[in-house]
Amino acid sequence: MRKVFTLYLLLILNSLIYPQYNPGARQISLANSDVALSNDVFSIFNNPAGLAQLNWREVGIYYSPAPFGLTELSNGYVAYNEPFNFGSISIGGMTYGFDLYRESKVVLGYSYNYENILFAGATVNYHTYSIQNYGSTSAIYFNVGGLVYILDELRWGFVVTNLNRASIADIDDQIPMILSTGFSYDILQNFSLNFALEKDISYNPSVQFGIEYDIIEYLSLRAGTSNDPSRFTAGLGINYSIFSLDYAFFTHQDLGLTHQAGIILSFGKEGSRSSAVRRYLNSSE
Amino acid sequence: MKRIFFILVPTFFLSGIAVEEIFSQTDSTYLRTEEILEDILQEPVGDIDESDLYDQLEQLLLNPININIATIEELVQIPSIDISTARLIIDHRKKYGYFFSLNELNSIENLDKELVKKITPFLRIDKKPSEVVEPPGKMETITSQTNVLLRSRFINALQTNEGFLKNRFEGTKPKIYNRLLVKYRNQFQAGYLTDKDAGESAINEFSTFHIAVNDIGVIHRAVIMDYFLEFGQGLTFWSPYAYGKGADAVVPVRRNDRIIRPYTSSTENNFFRGGAAAFNLGDFILSGFYSYNYFDANIDSTTGKITSTPVDGLHRTPNEINKRKTASEKMIGGRIDYRFENILHLGAIYYQSSFSNEFQPTNVYDISGDKFNYTAASYSILFNRFNFSGEFSYNGTSVASINMFQFLISNDFTFITSVRSYPRNFNSLHGYAFGERNGATNNEFGIYTGFRWRTPIGLLNFYYDQFKFPYATFFNPNSTQGDEYLVDFLTKPIRKLELRARYKYENKDITKLVDNSKSIVKRLRQVFRGEIIYSISNKIRLRGRFEYNTFRVAQTGEDENGYLIFQDVRYSPTSNFNLYGRIIFFKTDSFGSAIYEYENNLTGVLTNIPLFNEGIRWYLLLRYRPYKLVTISAKYSETYKPIEKSLGSGDSRIPGNLDNILSVQLDLNF
């Protein structure tokens, strides 16, 4: 009985301090305002709809070694996306924690491109929680998202996380249910503004804002900000050959500075990411 | 169960002989009707069942107006058609002759294409207008022009509320509704309806029946059995519900009465039972009506006086069953109307009512006695670009009035102003007038001004309403007042994309306890809404909304706010299949800052739900028409509030924090 109680306690504590932001480094440097952008492989964790914007294969790895200076909170993600005629299939994984407490997640996603205007995607998430000497528990939940091109330069995206309101260990709402909606606008071909509104079922809405500027094909600069929690974020990306190396850092008002980095391998992408997506969507019209 | 049989048997019998379908309610009609309703109802009027408004629209759909003989007064019956639109249609007809197809509406200059789509289901074409009054022909025409419409609805809350848990209710949980309508051309209609609310025992706990006749010889309209009356601007007679102030600044303000209407609603009170008829005599219409009907009342056992008249129609507990149809009203009256072309319409009405019991007044201006009579006059003058209309009603002690002036400055700009004056001692038994308090006809003075402007960049609606309640009421010990305005802007910057912004401001006196004494304080309420609607194709429409709502009472330090975010999808891959889904996240500080959300539902049902505290709501609604004659619809909805221990109050309190409802409906049209 005490064992179970402690497990619950840890789970509750975990949900309160939930230290993770969705990957990867690019998304974090935009303060996660990318719900309407979602054009890289890590979209499987954010808005899976966006994956069908890619007509190339992509693999990504992301690692955050010590969020807020605590190595115990380190987390890592991997993601893979494969485009098919019938839509894109993606697989992702996550691990988080340390010896005593560990979470892991396996995600399977599907995304569909409807006439280059509407993109719709869904993921199945299998999330496992384990505490040393106390056992483990798991939950399955679904995310559903959409992304539409209102204009060639203007996108509207939205996603619902944990649509089935799954929870763990018989306590409600241990996995948050989240609605996120936002816009992404390309002011220039290489300069995009992103805005998102995110509402967690039991927290105040978070307003998120991010800009991405591809100065040259090889270098992208990013910055963002959000409230609730209040964050400033920034980062850069180096794109060379099939590699995109991204770095991000952010300051949390109460918890301090965090660094993270990721690498994405794109097979068959030509030029910068935004121009490759644009070319794909215009060519098949 | 026996009752269902009773309804089904004649239906199947008739289905065998029905050959051709002339009933024009296609599936896109559903979508149009919904859009019209959304336009008119989006500014919520409170937690009332507005399904009657849907019912009225459905009656209009069932009896589309013949565009080739319609007068302006008839055309403006269609919601979202105002005088300027009606004029455009009639001018076109005068200039180019009769319409041969409703598509011709698209060729009318200055007539909005979107509006044409919305109004088409309410119109029909009779190519030779003279045939309309021809008597019915042989037997085969009767069958081929007969429509039978059967609707069965079943609504079941999946959570069990306190009333059932504690065995307070006598009946079973589901709400069951059945309706049978038989129509022949646009001239005859018969209908039978039964309704059982959740917790009531008999399936026909409420039932209503009518036979109605339209335009036969000298008969303009006639109804036997259940009906309701409409006169002028609603001071004397109106249906139990009508549109109030809303996002459309012009249409809801001016009423267009239909004299007599068959009763097809499941609201259990406030209708007439007996007979009514209106006859055409040249430019005059003469009408007479008689009713003897029972209604729900709480009667004081010692004095025998009526202390209150509950209108909710719920008969679940022994207490509620005891007040069922305990008092009666006998009503008789007559009316005369004079119409001169499209220019002038004058009406006068008189009726008297006597009740089985006297009313027990709770204050000096309250209704009292058991005998009432009313005399009223109404007018509507339309010339050039001006319209004056109004009504005066006299109850033996005082005169209530409402007058309005409408000015069509151009085809794109309509201005309206309306002045209402309802004295403290004027109580209308069957009226439902325009005002700040929905339907109330006493103790209010108000001035409403509004305009609708189709600007080059979008549609702008604006109104400003000032109101005053000059005398003390049950809630307020003193005279109170307030004002409100609304700005609504709808624009289509690019094809397929609609953006809407709305702001509403209301500053109103209410009574609150300040330092333990009742005092009148100002409550400031503001609502902001932003909405985006994007139609990706004819098949998929996406919609997102953000709404923020705040109210403040400076004297008590109350300062609350709430907001709502939703995401909505409508998917209709084929014309006979519609799927709707919506997910809403909301948070408000209390019920005071609740946000009302109008949502799609089964055909014939309207839901305007107050969302408050913190949580989510989502629903899925499916409408499928597998065969021409059959439509199936189903809805599942769920409201979830993570931090609550229970939802609702009193008998409807649900233990737990989840409220989910499943409803199913079957429509058969032969």
Average pLDDT of A211-234?
A: 92
pLDDT at A8: 55
Q: For helices B51-62 and B27-41, what crossing angle results, to 10°? A: 140
* Helix, coil or strand: residue A277: helix
Question: A181 at the B interface (CB within 8 A)?
Answer: yes
Average pLDDT over chain B, rounded to whole? 85
Cα–Cα distances in Å, from A254 out to A15, A232, A235, B437, B624? 17, 12, 20, 49, 53
The secondary element (H helix, E strand) that includes residue A10 is helix A2-17
pLDDT at B1 over 70: no
Q: How far apart are CA B413 and CA B409, in angstroms?
A: 6
**Residues whose CB is less than 8 angstroms from the CB of residue B154 and which lie 6 or more positions away in sequence, other chains included:** B174, B175, B176, B177, B663, B664, B665
Q: Is the dihedral of CA A185, A187, A191, A195 positive or negative?
A: negative
Q: How far apart are CA A270 and CA B92, in angstroms?
A: 59
Residues A146 and A115 sit within 8 Å (Cβ to Cβ) = no
Average pLDDT of A36-55?
A: 95
Residue B662: which of B640, B629, B633, B636 has the closest Cα?
B636
Q: How far apart are CA B236 and CA B393, in angstroms?
A: 6
Average pLDDT over chain A, rounded to whole? 89
Q: pLDDT digit string (tens) for B190-223?
A: 999 999 999 999 999 999 999 999 888 899 999 9
pLDDT at B49 over 60: no
pLDDT at B144: 61
Cα–Cα distances in Å, from B325 out to B300, B313, B329? 14, 10, 11
Quote the ipTM score.
0.81
Q: Which of A118, A156, A202 sits opposite B532 (nearest CB)?
A: A156
Q: Which of B422-426, B471-475, B568-572 comes out lowest in average pLDDT?
A: B471-475
The Cα of A2 is separated from the nearest Cα of chain B by a number of Å equal to: 25
Residue contact A201–B642, C-beta within 8 A: yes
pLDDT at B230: 93
Burial of residue A2 (number of CB atoms within 10 Å: 0-12, 13-18, 19+): exposed
Average pLDDT of A159-163?
A: 94
Q: Which residue of B has its CA nearest to A179?
A: B585
pLDDT at B23 over 60: no
Question: A207 at the B interface (CB within 8 A)?
Answer: no
Residues B521 and B553 sit within 8 Å (Cβ to Cβ) = yes
Q: What percent of chain B has pLDDT over 90?
A: 49
Q: How far apart are CA B327 and CA B427, in angstroms?
A: 19
Q: pLDDT digit string (tens) for A100-113?
A: 889 999 999 999 99
pLDDT at A1 over 70: no
Measured torsion, CA atoms of residues B209, B213, B214, B218, in degrees rounded to the nearest 10: -150
Q: Which of A17-21, A69-73, B251-255, B549-553 comes out lowest in average pLDDT?
A: A17-21
* Helix, coil or strand: residue B58: helix
pLDDT at B42 over 80: no
Q: What angle do CA B311, B312, B313 make, to 5 degrees?
A: 90
Please report where in the chains the tokens 């309160």 appear, as a residue.
Answer: A16
Question: In the 8-state DSSP scheme, what is residue A56?
Answer: S
Q: How far apart are CA A238 and CA B668, in angstroms?
A: 64
Question: B521 at the A interface (CB within 8 A)?
Answer: no
The Cα of A138 is separated from the nearest Cα of chain B by a number of Å equal to: 21
Q: Which of B542, B563, B643 sits opposite A146 (nearest CB)?
A: B542
> What is the residue type of B15?
S
What pTM was computed for the model? 0.84
**Residues whose CB is less than 8 angstroms from the CB of residue B47 and which lie 6 or more positions away in sequence, other chains included:** B596, B608, B610
Q: Which of B565, B587, B643 sits opposite A197 (nearest CB)?
A: B565
Please report where in the chains the tokens 């959300």 appear, as a residue.
Answer: B597
Name chain A contacts of B616, Cβ cutoff 8 Å. Answer: 177, 179, 201
Q: pLDDT digit string (tens) for B350-404?
A: 999 999 999 998 877 788 889 999 999 999 998 888 999 999 999 999 999 999 9
Average pLDDT of B415-423?
A: 95
pLDDT at B65: 86
Name chain B contacts of A156, Cβ cutoff 8 Å. Answer: 532, 534, 542, 544
Instruction: Locate A230 and state its tokens.
Output: 């209040």
Name chain A contacts of B561, Cβ cutoff 8 Å. Answer: none
Name chain A contacts of B534, Cβ cutoff 8 Å. Answer: 148, 150, 156
Q: How far apart are CA B382 and CA A215, in angstroms?
A: 66
The secondary element (H helix, E strand) that includes residue A61 is strand A57-64
The Cα of A283 is separated from the nearest Cα of chain B by a number of Å equal to: 19
pLDDT at A20: 65
Residue contact B536–A118, C-beta within 8 A: yes
pLDDT at A183: 95
Average pLDDT of B159-180?
A: 92
Q: Which residue of A has its CA nearest to B498?
A: A150
Confidence of residue A11 (pLDDT cuts 50, 70, 90): low
pLDDT at B19 over 70: no
Tell which phi-psi region holds residue B341, choosing left (phi > 0), alpha (psi between -120 and 50) or beta: left
Average pLDDT of B508-520?
A: 86
Confidence of residue B43 (pLDDT cuts 50, 70, 90): low
Q: How far apart are CA B642 and CA B660, in angstroms?
A: 14
pLDDT at B10: 39
Q: pLDDT digit string (tens) for B274-329?
A: 999 999 999 999 999 999 999 999 999 899 999 988 888 889 999 899 999 999 99
Instruction: Supply φ then ψ for residue A130, to 5 degrees.
Output: -140, 145
pLDDT at B650 over 70: yes
